[in-house]
Amino acid sequence: MHDRGLRLLLLASVFTIATCGLIYELIAGTIASYLLGDSVLQFSTVIGVYLFAMGIGSWLSRYVEKNLLGVFIQVEFLIALFGGSAAAGLFALFAYVSSFRVLLYAIVLIIGTLVGLEIPLLLRLLEGRLQFKDLISKVFTFDYIGALLASLLFPLVLVPYCGVARSGFLFGILNGVVGLIALWALWDQVPRARLLRLSGLAVLALLITGFAFSERIMTWSEAAAYGEDVIFAKSTPYQRITITRRDDDMRLYLNGNLQFSTRDEYRYHESLIHPGLSRLPHARHVLVLGGGDGLAVREILRYPQIENVTLVDLDPAMTRLFSTQEMLTVLNRGALTAPRVHVINGDAFAWLRANREVFDFIVADFPDPSNFSIGKLYSTAFYQRAKTALAENGAMVIQCTSPFVARKSFWCIDETLHACGLVTEPYHAYVPSFGEWGYILASPRPLSRDFELPGGLRFLDQGNLVSLFEFPPDMARVSTDINRLNNQALVRYFEIEWARYSRQ
Amino acid sequence: MKTRRDFLATTGAGAAALLAGCHRASATYPGSIVGASSAIGHRLRDGTFPTPSETIETKVVIVGGGISGLAVARRLDHHGMREFLLLELEHEAGGNAASGRNAVSAYPWGAHYVPLPNEESTEVLALFEELGLTRGRGTNGAPIFDEESLCSDPLERLFDAGRWQEGLLPQIGITDADRRQYEAFFTRMVQFRDRRGSDGRPAFTIPLDLSSRDPELLALDRITMAEWLRTQHFDSVPLLWHVDYCCRDDYGAGIAHVSAWAGVHYFASRRGRAANADPDAVVTWPEGNGWLAHQLAAPLRERLRGGYVVFNIEQNGEDVFVDAFDLARERSVRHRARGVVCAAPRFVAQRIVRGLSPTSGLEYSPWMVANITVDTLPGGNGAALAWDNVARASASLGYVVATHQDITLVPQQSVLTHYWPLDVVDPRDARQQAIARTHREWCDLIVADLVQIHPGIEEHIQNIDVWLWGHGMIRPVPGFIWGEERARMLPPHGAVVFAHSDMSGISIFEEAFTRGTHAADSLLPLLA
C-alpha cells in the first residue's frame, strides 16, 4: 500500500476512534444519570473519571515499545469489546449487583484507559510519515470533528432510534472494523496477524449477536407512556416489572400500575402496617402476602418483638430485585435479607391452602382487584383460608384500593370480611401519588384501642392515628354484595368505578 | 394478567396466521384418539369370548363403573355389605364422568358439572355433605357450598356477531320482539318450575320419577320441543337457538329431536338453592365429574376391577353367573354371586343379561369430546374468558376451560375441553362417520371450529386428544320418558337389579347416582 493511502487510513481511524470514544463516554453518562438519577452529578463524575482514565492510558502508552501496530489493533479490539457491550452489560447487571457504582466506574475506567492509549499510539504510528506540525494538526482536527459528530449523533439519532444498548454495540462494531481494516492493510507488518484476526472476528461476532438480540431495555414507547425515565424493565412469567425515575422520585410499576413512589411510599406503608400491628404487643409471627418490594416488611421490622416474618410473593424476579439492587435495598433497608425474614416465592392462595402455621398479624398487600385472577384473592374463600392461619387474638390488614374512587369496591371487601365472621375496622390515608387510599383491619375479636407506635415514623403519630378511622360522607359505607369466587362481585364493581374515574 | 399491548400483539399475530393459513395444508398435532374401548365393546355384539376357565365366588357383582355403578358400591358399603366386586370395561371407573390428566391440568372427558341439587335429590345432597361439598345450612335454610368447588365467575360467554358477551342467551343485536319472547319464555319456565300437578307433585323435578304424572304435563312428552315452541308462538331466532343449544348440551340432540317434556325439564326442574350462591350456580372441578367418580371409587380399591368385559349374566338357581373377559390376562372368568346390579347402559344390558327382552326405541346420541392443550389462554373482545365458552355460529358446543377453578394466578397453559354432539345426521350414520375419521381429520375439524372464534389459536395448540362416545347418552325422544318402554326397564330380572340413567331417559349425574343408590337398596332384601 502506498504511504499516502496508509496515511489516509490512519487518519480515518482517528476520526472513527474519536467518535466512538465520545459515544462511550456519553453512554456511560446517560446510563449513570438514567439509573442513578441526578444527571448533573452523574455526567460530571463520569466525564471526569473517563478523562482521567484517558490520562492513565496516555501515560501507559510510553511502556509500549515494540510491535506498536499489533498493540494498537489489540487495543481497538478491546475497546470494541468493552465499549460496545458496556451499556447492555450495565443495564443487565443493574438489578443484580449490590454496588452498581463500583461496577460503573470500573467499566468507565477500563474504557477510558484503552481510549487514552489510542491517540498516542496512532501519533507514534504516523510519526515520520508526516511532518510533526501536520501530524498534530490533522490528528487533532479529526479528533475534534469526530467528537462533534458523536455529540450530535447521540441525542438526535442514536438514543431515539437505536436505544442506548444497541448504540453501544453499533459503535463497538465500528471500532472492531477499524482494527480489522488496519490489520488487513498492514498484514505483513504485524506479527501473529492470524491470531489477531481471529480475536477481532470473535469480538465482532459477539457484538453483532448483542446488537441483534439486545432487548431495547428502555423502549421509546414505554418511556413515553410513563412520562418518566424507565430505569429497569423486565417481563417475568407473572408480570412486567418497570422502575422509573424522575429526579429523586423512583417509582415501581407492575403491568403499568403504580405500586409506589419513593416520595410518599412511607405514607402508604406506615398506614398499612402500624394501625394494626401497633395494637398487637403480643405479636411474634407475621405473614405478608404479596408485598415483594419489602417495604411493608421494613415497617414490620420496626417492632423488636417480632420474631419472624414470612413473605409470600409470586414472582421470584421481584423479590430478587428488592433483595439485591442497591437503591432498592436502601429503600427497604435490606428487609428481604434480614435474618428475621423468610421469603417464599409462591402463589398466596395455594400457599395458604397448604399452610398449617398460625400468625399473629397477616398483611394482604395484593394489586388492586382489576381482573378475575386477582379478584380471587379478595374472596370469602381466600379470607376463610387466611382466617384459619390467623391467631384468635391476631389481626389481618388488607390494602383495599381507594374508598374515594372505588367506594363500592372498598365496602365490598368490608362486607366480604364480615361474611367470614371477622370484625373489621376500615380506615384510610392520603398518599399523594395514589390519592385517598383505603385499608381494612379484620380480626376474629375486637382489637384493643392502645396504639404503641414504634419510633422513626414520618407520617403517623398518636395524634393523627385515630382520625384515619373516620370516614367523611363521600366515602361512607354503602351496601354491597359479598365477593365470592362464584360471583366476583368486587371485580365487577372495581371495573365500573375505575373506568368511570379514568374517563373524567 | 395480559396487558393491552400483549393483546394487540396477539391479535395482530393471529390475523397474520389466519392469512397464512389460507394457503397452508392442515397441520398435524400431537395426540390421539383415546378411550371408550369401542373395539372391545363391538366384540360383545359379535359374541366371541372364550368360555370361563375359573370361577370366583362373591356376594354381589356390580357390572359397570359409571356413576350409577359407583353409587351402588358406596351404598352397599354403607349397609356393611362389603363382599362385592365391581367390573368395569375401561381401566378406570367413571363412565360418562371419565377424566384424564396431563402435565398441565386434569380435564373431563364427559360430564363436567352438577347443578345445585334439588331438595328432592336427597341421595345427592347426602353425598355432597359426606364429601364436604356442603357444610351445613345457611340462614336461608339452603346448604352452604364449598366455595372452591362452586364454579368461579365468569360462568359462560357467547361469541356472536364477532364479539363475546356474558351469558349464553344472545344479547347482541336482538330486537324488542326477541326480548319480549325471552321474557315470555322464561316466565313460562318459571311457571312450570313452580307448578304442581293434579297429583300434588312438582311438575318437573329431579329425580325425574318424582315428577307429577298429571296427564296434561305428560302430554308434553308426545311432541318435540320444536313443536311445543311453535304451538306457543315462540319464533324468535335467538331464543330458539338458545333452547336448542341447551337441549343439545344436556341430551346431545336439539329441539327437533327431544320431547317437549325433556326440553321443559331442562329449564323447569331445578329448584336447588345455596346459602352462598345464586340458584343457577353449579359445582365443578378441573376433571369435571371425574372428581366425583374418583371420590366414589377411592374406597373400593381392589374390589374395583377395570379391563373386564362382562359378556354374560345368567340366573342359575339361587345364584347368578357373571362371565367376564379379563383383558389383561386374556381369559374369561366366571363370577358366582347371590345378586347382581347391572349398571351398564341398557343397550349393553339387553345383550348380556340372558333372557332379558330388548327395549325398543332406545336412541343414543353420539359425541366427540376433545381435550386441547394450549400454551396461552384464549382471549377475545367483549367479555373475559369464562368457564364455558360458546360460539353461536358453531355446530359444536364450544369449550370449557379445565383450569378455570384454579385459584392460583396466571396459569397461561391450559386444557380446553371441546364438546361436540354429532347430531346433524342420524345417530347410526354419525357413529360410522365418527369412527372412520382419523385423528388428523378430527384435528382439522376441531381447529377449524376454534379458529372462527380465536384466530391464530392453532399456533398455541400443543396437543389434541379425542374421545368418541358412540353411545354417549340416552336421547329423550318423544314418548320415551313417559312411555311403556322405559317403565319396562325398571323392575329387576330375577336377582339382577338395574341401575343406569338410561332408566330415567336423561343422562345426568343426579339420575345415575339416585338409580344406583336405589338399586343397592332393592338388592339387599334379595340377598337375605
Instruction: Give residue-wise pLDDT tens across range B376-417.
Output: 999 999 999 999 999 999 999 999 999 999 988 766 899 999
Q: Give the per-residue pLDDT at A51.
A: 92
Asked whether residue B178 is assigned to any structural domain, the reply reads yes
Check CB contact under 8 Å for B152 and A488.
yes
Last residue of a domain, one of B245, B279, B313: B279
pLDDT bin (cut points 50, 70, 90) of residue B472 is: very high
| Residue to substitute from B144, B153, B276, B414, interface A, most A β-carbons within 10 A | B153
In what helix (H) or strand (E) does residue B311 lie, and over which residues does it extend?
Answer: strand B308-316
Q: Which of B440, B450, B513 is nearest to B127 (CA)?
A: B513
Of B277, B281, B410, which has the smallest distance from its Cβ to A373's Cβ?
A: B410
Please indicate, yes or no, whether residues B354 and B452 belong to a single structural domain of this protein.
no
| Shortest CA distance from A367: residue in chain B | B1
Please indicate, yes or no, whether residues B57 and B195 belong to a single structural domain of this protein.
no
Distance CA B515, CA B506 (A): 12
What is the average pLDDT score of chain A?
Answer: 89
Residues in chain A: 504
| Residue to substitute from B4, B164, B407, interface A, most A β-carbons within 10 A | B407
For residue B412, give how far its alpha carbon lies from the nearest alpha carbon of chain A (Å).
9
| Shortest CA distance from B153: residue in chain A | A486
Please provide residue B114's backbone torsions phi and psi, each rounded to the nearest 5 degrees.
-130, 125
Distance, CA of B89 to chain centre: 18
Of A237, A240, A486, which has the smallest distance from its Cβ to B152's Cβ?
A: A486
Asked whether residue B104 is assigned to any structural domain, the reply reads no
Q: Give the per-residue pLDDT at A223.
A: 59
User: Whole-angstrom distance between the N-terminal and C-terminal Cα of chain B?
Assistant: 62
> Is residue B185 within 8 Å of B170, Cβ to Cβ?
no
Residues in chain B: 528
Domain A262-503 has CATH 3.40.50.150: yes
Per-residue pLDDT tens for A360-386? 999 999 999 988 889 999 999 999 999
Lowest mean pLDDT among A355-364, B48-57, B239-248: B48-57
Please indicate, yes or no, whether residues B22 and B71 belong to a single structural domain of this protein.
no
pLDDT at B359 over 90: no
| Shortest CA distance from B403: residue in chain A | A373
Please indicate, yes or no, whether residues B122 and B211 belong to a single structural domain of this protein.
yes
- When pLDDT is averaged across residues A477-498 and rounded to a whole number, the result is 94
Last residue of a domain, one of B220, B246, B279: B279
The three-state secondary structure class of A334 is coil
Of A314, A353, A485, which has the smallest distance from its Cβ to B153's Cβ?
A: A485
% helix, strand, coil for chain A, step of 5: 60, 15, 25
- Other beta carbons within 10 Å of B464: 24
Q: Give the per-residue pLDDT at B21.
A: 38
> Is residue A277 within 8 Å of A361, Cβ to Cβ?
yes
Q: Give the per-residue pLDDT at A279.
A: 96
The three-state secondary structure class of B227 is helix
| Residue to substitute from A355, A486, A492, interface B, most B β-carbons within 10 A | A486
Please indicate, yes or no, whether residues B231 and B347 belong to a single structural domain of this protein.
no
Per-residue pLDDT tens for B3-37? 333 333 333 333 333 333 333 345 689 999 986 56
Asked whether residue B108 is assigned to any structural domain, the reply reads no
Q: Which of B335, B290, B291, B289 is nearest to B309 (CA)?
A: B335
Task: Give me the CATH number covering residue B422.
Answer: 3.90.660.20
What residues of B are in the A interface, CB distance below 8 Å? 1, 3, 147-148, 150-154, 276-278, 281, 384, 407-410, 412
Q: Give the per-residue pLDDT at B137.
A: 95
Check CB contact under 8 Å for B407 and A238.
no
Q: Which amino acid is at A296?
A: A
Lowest mean pLDDT among A407-411, B20-24, B50-54, B98-102: B20-24
Distance CA A284, CA A103 (A): 40
User: What is the count of structural domains for chain B?
Assistant: 3
Check CB contact under 8 Å for A486 and B412.
no
Burial of B184 (0-12, 13-18, 19+ CB in 10 A): middle
Distance CA A376, CA A484 (A): 8
Q: Are strands A249-254 and B496-498 parallel, antiparallel or unpaired?
A: unpaired
Please provide residue A389's backbone torsions phi and psi, each rounded to the nearest 5 degrees.
-90, 0
Listed in sequence order, the DSSP H helices in B336-414 are 346-352
Please indicate, yes or no, whether residues B395 and B418 belong to a single structural domain of this protein.
yes
Please indicate, yes or no, whether residues B174 and B231 belong to a single structural domain of this protein.
yes
Per-residue pLDDT tens for A67-83? 888 998 999 999 999 99
Q: Give the per-residue pLDDT at A364.
A: 98
Asked whether residue B458 is assigned to any structural domain, the reply reads yes
Lowest mean pLDDT among A52-56, A158-162, A223-227, B444-448: A223-227
Query: Is B1 or A223 the better-scoring residue by pLDDT?
Result: A223
Residue whose grid cell is 349397609:
B79
For residue A421, give how far its alpha carbon lies from the nearest alpha carbon of chain B (Å).
13
Per-residue pLDDT tens for A293-302? 999 999 999 9
For residue B141, give how far its alpha carbon lies from the nearest alpha carbon of chain A (Å).
16
pLDDT at B439 over 60: yes
DSSP letters for B415-449: EEEEEEE--SS-HHHHHHHHHHS-HHHHHHHHHHH
pLDDT bin (cut points 50, 70, 90) of residue A37 is: low
DSSP letters for A297-325: HHHHTT-TT--EEEEEES-HHHHHHHHH-
What residues of A are in the B interface, CB distance below 8 Å? 237-240, 255-256, 314, 347, 349-350, 353, 371-374, 376, 379-382, 384, 482, 484-488
The three-state secondary structure class of B229 is helix
Q: Which of A81, A332, A67 is nearest to A200 (CA)?
A: A81
For residue A32, give how far its alpha carbon lies from the nearest alpha carbon of chain B (Å).
29
Distance CA A76, CA A85 (A): 14
Percent of chain A at pLDDT exceeding 90: 59
What is the average pLDDT score of chain B?
Answer: 92
Sheet holding A341-345, edge to edge: A341-345, A308-313, A285-290, A359-365, A390-399, A435-443, A423-431
Q: Residues of A comprising the binding site for spermidine?
A: 269, 293
For residue B69, give how far its alpha carbon lies from the nearest alpha carbon of chain A (Å).
31
Check CB contact under 8 Å for A488 and B154.
yes
DSSP letters for B70-102: HHHHHHHHHTT---EEEEESSSSS-GGG-EEE-
* DSSP letter, residue B277: B
Question: Cell for B262?
Answer: 325433556
Please indicate, yes or no, whether residues B142 and B244 belong to a single structural domain of this protein.
yes
Please indicate, yes or no, whether residues B197 and B92 belong to a single structural domain of this protein.
no
Check CB contact under 8 Å for A373 and B412.
no
Q: Where are the beta strands (DSSP E) in A304-410?
A: 308-313, 341-345, 359-365, 390-399
Distance CA A492, CA A412 (A): 11
Q: Which of B252, B248, B512 is nearest to B366 (CA)?
A: B252
Asked whether residue B510 is assigned to any structural domain, the reply reads yes
DSSP letters for B453-522: TSTTGGGGEEEEEEEEEEEEEE---TTTTTSHHHHHHSS-BTTEEE--GGGTTS--HHHHHHHHHHHHHH
Q: Residues of A comprising the binding site for S-methyl-5'-thioadenosine?
A: 239, 313, 347-348
Sheet holding B156-160, edge to edge: B33-34, B461-474, B364-374, B414-421, B398-401, B388-391, B156-160, B163-166
Domain holding B402, by residue range, is 4-30+364-474
Percent of chain B at pLDDT exceeding 70: 93
Of B147, B277, B409, which has the smallest distance from its Cβ to A373's Cβ?
A: B409
Check CB contact under 8 Å for B153 and A256.
no
Asked whether residue B107 is assigned to any structural domain, the reply reads no
- When pLDDT is averaged across residues B217-246 and rounded to a whole number, the result is 98
| Shortest CA distance from A373: residue in chain B | B409
Task: Give me the CATH number covering residue B146.
Answer: 1.10.405.10
Of B3, B281, B407, which has the smallest distance from its Cβ to A486's Cβ?
A: B281
Task: Give me the CATH number covering residue B319.
Answer: 3.50.50.60
Please indicate, yes or no, whether residues B124 and B223 belong to a single structural domain of this protein.
yes
Please indicate, yes or no, whether residues B228 and B262 belong to a single structural domain of this protein.
yes
Select from 3.30.70, 3.40.1000, 1.20.1250, 2.40.480 the CATH code of A3-219.
1.20.1250
Of A347, A371, A380, which has the smallest distance from its Cβ to B408's Cβ?
A: A347
Q: Which amino acid is at A232?
A: F
| Shortest CA distance from B405: residue in chain A | A485
pLDDT bin (cut points 50, 70, 90) of residue B226 is: very high
- When pLDDT is averaged across residues A455-468 and rounded to a whole number, the result is 94
Among residues A365, A414, A474, A481, which one is catalytic?
A: A365
For residue A348, give how far its alpha carbon lies from the nearest alpha carbon of chain B (Å).
8
Residue whose grid cell is 429523586:
A248
pLDDT at A96 over 50: yes
> Is residue A241 within 8 Å of A321, Cβ to Cβ?
yes
Check CB contact under 8 Å for B409 and A374.
yes
Asked whether residue B430 is assigned to any structural domain, the reply reads yes
> Is residue A84 within 8 Å of A111, Cβ to Cβ?
no
Count contacts between A and B (CB, < 8 Å).
Answer: 68
DSSP letters for B507-522: --HHHHHHHHHHHHHH
Ramachandran region, residue A37 (left: φ > 0; alpha: ψ -120 to 50; beta: rest): left
* Helix-helix angle A380-388:A407-419, to 10 degrees: 50
Domain boundaries, chain A: 3-219, 228-258, 262-503
ipTM over 0.85: no
Which residues of chain B does A237 touch, with a Cβ-Cβ cutoff of 8 Å?
410, 412
Last residue of a domain, one of B233, B261, B279: B279
Q: Give the per-residue pLDDT at A93.
A: 77
Asked whether residue B346 is assigned to any structural domain, the reply reads yes
Please indicate, yes or no, whether residues B370 and B468 belong to a single structural domain of this protein.
yes
Question: Cell for B354?
Answer: 340372558
Is residue A365 part of the annotated active site? The answer reads: yes
Burial of A385 (0-12, 13-18, 19+ CB in 10 A): buried
> Is residue B504 within 8 Å of B211, Cβ to Cβ?
no
* DSSP letter, residue B306: E
